[in-house]
Amino acid sequence: MRIGYRGEVDVRSSQTPRDREAVVRVTGGRLGVSVAMLLCVVIGSGCGESSKPVEPDTGLGWEHTYPNAQDGPDWSRQGEIVYEDNGLVCVDQIDTSKAGLWVLDPATSITRRVSSFGVTPSWSPDGQHIAFATPWSGSIFTMAIDGSELRQITPAEGNFSPRWSPDGSQLCWAKRIGAGGGVYVADSDGNSPRLVLPGADFPDWNPVAPDTLLCAKWEPEGKGQYLVGVSVTTGGYRTLLRTFRPTERIRYPRYAPDAKSIAFVSLSGGPDPAGIYLLASGAFAPLALLPGHVEDCCWSPGGDKIAYLAWDPLVFAKENGTIWSVDVTDRNVEQLTHWWPSECDTARGSPAFLRAGATHTVPVRSDRLPGSN
């Protein structure tokens, strides 16, 4: 079985998202097996059938991947975390009233829903607006935190992972589907878009040097990846870190608030384990902060913690697929979000060991729990 990356199409590849749907559907932002494929393997239903993904003008517009309950956290300067919630109430069931973009206050654990749809959200510097992408189609939007002022920034051309400039006047994002893939920059209202670095992904803006972006860039011929700093003005870049194997991937690089270090997620495929790594300014090699199966990462405003998604497709536990934080100094972890209460419809015939909250026949191994070393 071939596995594809949800919403992260290799800009070097000519294979279309529709081609990938025949094996594993390209969905909102993460490596995973679709529910339809999973049920085909487990209970033999729906095998050989093709299914076109739903692409409504509003609403969810993506197919959730169990066990992804939440996704895509971003921590504001004001201390709140915006994230995606897939509305997952059972392995093959979602509640659309619970899905969308949510905001969490970590100090009180109070959450509020700000949008019924959206992926890869990002806070504006003043904490008053959120940039995000539409699932599947990849159109960048911005909106006020009360849901008003919704504005389309880019066409639906495979654009994801928007990030704001330090003064909020510009946006950058990654174009992952079709021709002209790479990292783009435009005014915050969408005017004057331009390609800054072809073949790059996962941009982040330097908080103290507004002309510099941080990106992951593919090495020619797919031999590995670079972590690069690129000039917004000239497009010139310098290499900060390099991988040497096609299976090693650098994802979600993020500057610390003081820009003195960089956090990023590394996918296993080389001599070092997967997990969150830190690269200090001027250092030649990163240090492992949190080995394990994780995705996404973002810094707290004080630079003392990093939020991340604990995600392992082989673990059926409610601690999995949720957002956690890790203390940069003592490496203590804390769970920030949780699954919705289980609402499995047993009449639909979901296997008992796949139901959220059920007693699983697949044992949870302690060495695979989120945050474990």
pLDDT in tens, 201-255: 999 999 999 999 999 998 776 677 889 999 999 999 999 998 867 777 889 999 9
Q: What residue type is 294 in one-letter code?
A: V
CA distance 89 to 354: 12
pLDDT at 218: 83
Q: In this structure, are residues 250 and 274 in contact, taking their beta carbons and an 8 Å threshold?
A: no
For 9-12, which contacts have Cβ atoms below 8 Å and span 24 or more sequence positions? 9/158, 9/176, 9/177, 9/181, 10/218, 11/175, 11/176, 11/181, 11/182, 11/198, 11/199, 11/201, 11/218, 12/199, 12/218, 12/222
Backbone φ and ψ of 367, nearest 5°: -80, 0
CATH number of 17-368: 2.120.10.30
Lookup: tokens for 258: 């003081």
Higher pLDDT, 144 or 347: 144
Domain boundaries, the chain: 17-368
Q: In this structure, are residues 325 and 301 in contact, taking their beta carbons and an 8 Å threshold?
A: no
What percent of the chain is modeled with pLDDT above 90?
Answer: 54
Mean pLDDT, the chain, integer: 76
CA distance 313 to 31: 9
pLDDT digits (tens, 9 = 90+) for 311-346: 887 777 778 899 999 999 999 999 999 988 877 765
CA distance 161 to 9: 13
Confidence of residue 269 (pLDDT cuts 50, 70, 90): low
pLDDT at 311: 84
pTM comes to 0.77
Confidence of residue 21 (pLDDT cuts 50, 70, 90): very low
Between strands 93-94 and 119-123, the pairing is: unpaired
Q: Point out which residues pair with 215 in neighbouring strands.
A: 228
